[in-house]
Chains A and B, each alone.
Chain A
Amino acid sequence: MDDLWSVAGAVFQVWVFVVLFLIMLPAMFGLSLGVTGVYIQVLVKILEWATVRIQRGRMEQPSVPVPLPNGIIERAGGSMEEEIGELRNSFALSDAFYFYKKGLESIVDDQVTQRFSSEELASWNLLTRTNQNFRYISLRLTIIWVLGVFVRYCILFPLRITLAIIGLSWLVIGTTLVGFLPENSVKTWLSELVHLTCYRICARGLSATIRYYNKENKPQKGGICVANHTTPIDVVILANDGCYAMVGQIHGGLMGVIQRSMVRSCPHVWFERSEMKDRHAVTSRLRAHVAAKTKLPILIFPEGTCINNTSVMMFKKGSFEIGGTIYPVAIKYDPRFGDAFWNSGKYNMVSYLLRMMTSWAIVVNVWYLPPMTLQDGEDAAHFASRVKSAIAHQGGLLDLDWDGGLKRGKVKDSFKEEQQKMYSSIIVGQNGISSCSQSTKVE
């Protein structure tokens, strides 16, 4: 019995040592021991071997289904004009075929609904949760998978939980303490230090490997940073490299405690739920923040909701009406190491975080894009879509015009009316259209 206790005590001491000296202290100073780097390299080698093995297995067993990350069907692309025939000025019974074809294509595979669920991988990455079609391929693969489960759940997971708890509590305590200081440069410097340290510890808590590109374009004070949104962890990823003023709704519970203490040490912008509905109030408050050029850059995610990191959806123009310089940032997660997307309909925050902590790792590329401003004669919506294209292009993501709000809501009727108008002008020509009512403004 005593032996057991002394063994447990020794394990615990090793544990504390590892956590404190090998992880926390380096994190505070922004150093890295390189352990994560080695881990990632080993993982890549294993995953590459697994991919080759699975491909070989697939050739031997032809009934194993092949994943198709680019969609199920090959679409015969073509706009309405190309397919029906330009300005024919007449109707043909076969015109309906174009709409039937497009409709059926979208039933089998559409561009929008797939963005709201996790990306399908080209090859299995040895995590149970991404296993779409489990087939026994080989004994070695299964053994590696079992080892993987053990390593992830029994070794990495407790470590990560410890780090996350330490990181968050340090954030709360640290910012509250800094909040007692009077407003001066020491306070600002300390607050930045506290924030950075905590986010770095949290990042270690997810085994995150982050690569920043083009650091010369980093967001400056008084600017607005916009990025594509995949997960709440985006905040941790970006804040590892700089301090931002967060924008969001005040929550209750643990989130609320964290938010309230954070705002003591540096000016984040938290809104009450009622204020969020009033767009003018939100915009004017953000404008005031930006106008005071000494405040930290605001971090905004204009998509408004989490998308699965294969595409960028419509940017809401509200963020682009505030004025000031926009600093676009593109974030791309490597899906082989873990699925970072938060499917809020399927998982709540806690189970999402647990899934994150039991993945292999989070590997992320962050590109800072050159700052952009509203040009003369450009309206906010056009500016928003210009910024969106720049981010999509840099991150290698698909640039879609669909609204992320379609995750929960219905599509506007004005889009259907647009299609109808286009078809009408084909069959009767532009002059022949006698509208029965005014056409509605298309968003």
Chain B
Amino acid sequence: MGSRASTLLREEEIEEIKKETGFSHSQITRLYSRFTSLDKGENGTLSREDFQRIPELAINPLGDRIINAFFPEGEDQVNFRGFMRTLAHFRPIEDNEKNKNSSASEPLNSRTNKLLFAFRLYDLDRDDKISRDELLQVLRMMVGVNISDEQLGSIADRTIQEADTNGDNSISFNEFIKVPPVDGEQDY
């Protein structure tokens, strides 16, 4: 009778997700609809294949990295809470939040947390540094076979040189956020 979506998500769960992520009630039910439509196995969790089925994501050069961001360490399935938690990083900052003086922990979608999320997409081994190899990996994903190893290597070297201020030949989070900003904000 009707869509399964709104009947399977209980009100308490919606309230919890609302508190944790800051999404509104209707946004959560919409995203739950989306989650269930992606969940072809109908078992309440998404696997990597479920994400790969989205054609626009499958042709994205960094698609695999983005998908990985949804899965916690070593796991192959993500449930709705995990899905929402990751998406929460990209919720636009509402005006009424900017003025809050929160002594509580920073909301998931603050600018710093957004940048930390992006940083972690480069920094695979989570050692809080983007090494030359990690940078090369991401570069290689973005350019495919169109640039030679030598040229790519020199691009990576130049980037590290420009950003590295403490001379350890890698980019730390503080150095990362000091890089001149381009349009990095996501808008919903």
Asked if A110 contacts B121 (CB within 8 A), the reply is no
B179 at the interface (CB under 8 A from A): yes
Asked if A65 contacts B179 (CB within 8 A), the reply is no
B93 at the interface (CB under 8 A from A): no
Render B37-78 as a binary contact track against A, CB cut-off 8 A, 1 for contact: 110000000000001111111111111001000000000000
Asked if A85 contacts B182 (CB within 8 A), the reply is yes
Residues in chain A near residue B187, CB distance under 8 A: 74, 76
Within 8 A of A (CB), among B123-158: 138-139, 142-148, 151, 155, 158
A372 at the interface (CB under 8 A from B): no
Residues in chain A near residue B60, CB distance under 8 A: 99, 102-103, 106, 416, 419
Asked if A96 contacts B142 (CB within 8 A), the reply is yes
A183 at the interface (CB under 8 A from B): no
CB distance from A14 to the nearest CB of B (A): 34
Residues in chain A near residue B53, CB distance under 8 A: 113
What residue in chain B is nearest A438 (Cβ atoms)?
Answer: B145
What residue in chain B is nearest A412 (Cβ atoms)?
Answer: B59
Within 8 A of B (CB), among A71-119: 72-74, 76, 83-85, 90-97, 99-104, 106-113, 117
Rounded to whole angstroms, the CA-CA distance of A406 and B53 in the bound complex is: 9
What residue in chain B is nearest A66 (Cβ atoms)?
Answer: B26
Asked if B61 contacts A104 (CB within 8 A), the reply is no
What residue in chain B is nearest A85 (Cβ atoms)?
Answer: B182
Q: Contact check: which of A68, A93, A436 meets B179 at CB < 8 Å?
A: A93
Within 8 A of A (CB), among B1-51: 1-3, 5-6, 25-26, 29-31, 33-34, 37-38, 51
CB distance from B80 to the nearest CB of A (A): 13
Rounded to whole angstroms, the CA-CA distance of A112 and B60 in the bound complex is: 14
Within 8 A of B (CB), among A192-238: none
Q: Contact check: which of A97, A132, A419 meets B182 at CB < 8 Å?
A: A97
A375 at the interface (CB under 8 A from B): no
B186 at the interface (CB under 8 A from A): yes
CB distance from B153 to the nearest CB of A (A): 12
Asked if A420 contacts B146 (CB within 8 A), the reply is yes
Chain B: interface secondary structure? helix
Rounded to whole angstroms, the CA-CA distance of A117 and B158 in the bound complex is: 48
A349 at the interface (CB under 8 A from B): no
A435 at the interface (CB under 8 A from B): yes
Residues in chain B near residue A74, CB distance under 8 A: 187-188
Known: A65-B26, A423-B61, A424-B147. A134 touches B54 (CB 8 A): no
Known: A72-B34, A419-B59, A423-B61. A434 touches B151 (CB 8 A): yes
CB distance from A76 to the nearest CB of B (A): 5
Residues in chain A near residue B63, CB distance under 8 A: 103, 416
CB distance from B188 to the nearest CB of A (A): 5
Rounded to whole angstroms, the CA-CA distance of A325 and B30 in the bound complex is: 46
Render A377-407 as a binary contact track against B, CB cut-off 8 A, 1 for contact: 0000000000000000000000000100010
Asked if B144 contacts A424 (CB within 8 A), the reply is yes
What residue in chain A is nearest B184 (Cβ atoms)?
Answer: A97
CB distance from A87 to the nearest CB of B (A): 15
Interface residues on B, range: 35 or more
Rounded to whole angstroms, the CA-CA distance of A132 and B2 in the bound complex is: 5
What residue in chain B is nearest A433 (Cβ atoms)?
Answer: B146
Residues in chain A near residue B29, CB distance under 8 A: 65, 133
Residues in chain A near residue B25, CB distance under 8 A: 63, 65
Residues in chain A near residue B62, CB distance under 8 A: 96, 99-100, 103
Within 8 A of A (CB), among B59-109: 59-63, 66, 87, 90
Asked if A103 contacts B6 (CB within 8 A), the reply is no
Residues in chain A near residue B26, CB distance under 8 A: 63, 65-66
CB distance from A127 to the nearest CB of B (A): 10
What residue in chain A is nearest B51 (Cβ atoms)?
Answer: A107
4 pairs of A and B residues whose beta carbons are closest in the complex: A420-B144, A106-B56, A424-B146, A103-B66
Instruction: Show the binding face of B for A, using Cβ within 8 Å.
Output: 1-3, 5-6, 25-26, 29-31, 33-34, 37-38, 51-63, 66, 87, 90, 118, 121-122, 138-139, 142-148, 151, 155, 158-159, 163, 171, 176, 179-184, 186-188
Instruction: Show the binding face of A for B, using Cβ within 8 Å.
Output: 63, 65-66, 68, 72-74, 76, 83-85, 90-97, 99-104, 106-113, 117, 128-129, 131-134, 402, 406, 410-411, 415-421, 423-425, 427-428, 432-437, 439
Besides A63-B26, A96-B121, A433-B146, 15 other A-B contacts (C-beta < 8 A): A84-B182, A93-B122, A93-B159, A93-B176, A94-B179, A107-B54, A113-B38, A132-B5, A410-B52, A415-B55, A420-B142, A420-B145, A424-B146, A433-B147, A434-B151
A sample of 20 inter-chain contacts (CB < 8 A) reads A65-B6, A91-B159, A94-B182, A96-B122, A100-B121, A103-B57, A104-B87, A107-B57, A110-B55, A132-B6, A402-B55, A411-B59, A415-B55, A417-B144, A420-B61, A420-B146, A424-B144, A427-B143, A432-B147, A433-B147
